[in-house]
Amino acid sequence: MGLWGLLLAILGLAVLASAFFNIGLFVILLIIWFFLAILSIRIVFEFQRGVLFTFGKYSGMRNPGFNVIIPLVQSLRIVDLRINVSDVPEQTPITKDNVSLTVDAVIYFRIRKNEAQNSIIKVEDYSYAINQLAQTTMRNIIGEMMLDEVLSNRDEASKKIQYIVDKASDPWGIKVEAVELKHVELPESMKTIMAKAAEAERIKRAAIIKASGEAMAAEVVSKAAEIISSVEGGLNLRTLQELDNIASDTSNEVMFFVPLDTIRPIEGYAKHKKPKQVEKK
């Protein structure tokens, strides 16, 4: 409690003693004592620390619990040690490959327990300062990255922003726990171009898969043909098997295509031969 607490206790005893001599004096002293006690008592919670100033000069820290200060001489500034969550407003940085993005983020930070006084002495408004620092750093980091890197390595960009902001705010007694990019918005024209590129890539993969399947099928068919041709009568058996498969369905019709060259030698046999004329002598 300190010297001032002891003085308050002595003053309280003097107030009680004055009650035996003069009631009016007792009332006046009681009011003064009560007023000074209200101004002197400060309660610091477990998640807080008190920064004490005497005549405007830093004079120490106050831990959680019951604390007494000297009115008009000392002042106690309370610092919250819990994690602060701050939204970083939307920014429109330009990537290294000249693409404009709309990016926003969220930053998690806290005041270090043993350096709480720095957040009061060395910076006017640490929350506002952290927010502005995060905005500037986010624009710089996004500007040093390609579009594909921003979209595929968002964690890497977040870690770079966290490292720079944490290092810059270290003299303020602040520890940056994490920085997360919440939303990365592309221009509509870029969305259309990327959608077309993705569609072309899918068509390319489909064509490659189809061609690979046809190549494998051709290889298997080639091996089957070699096996069938190596067996005497194998091709005829395979033909009869296919005809049997087709004939199992009555709706199928089987048509045989015969080259004309194979029937031309016999196309004259169907006609009657004309009798030869006997020459008259």
Q: What is the pLDDT of residues 172-205, one digit of tens each?
A: 999 999 999 988 888 777 767 777 777 788 888 8
Q: Domain map of the chain by residue range? A: 2-79, 84-186, 191-245
- Report the range of poorest mean pLDDT among 10-24, 88-102, 165-179, 240-254: 10-24
Global model pTM greater than 0.85? no
What is the spatial distance between Cα 150 and Cα 23, in angstroms, rounded to a whole number?
78
Q: What is the mean pLDDT of residues 35-63?
A: 86
Q: Which of 176, 171, 42, 203 lies closest to 105 in space, CA to CA?
A: 176
Q: What is the CATH architecture of 84-186?
A: 2-Layer Sandwich (3.30)
Contact assessment for residue 8 and residue 36, using Cβ atoms and an 8 Å cutoff: yes
Q: What percent of the chain has pLDDT over 90?
A: 26
127-140 pLDDT tens trace: 999 999 999 999 99
Q: What is the pLDDT of residue 275?
A: 53
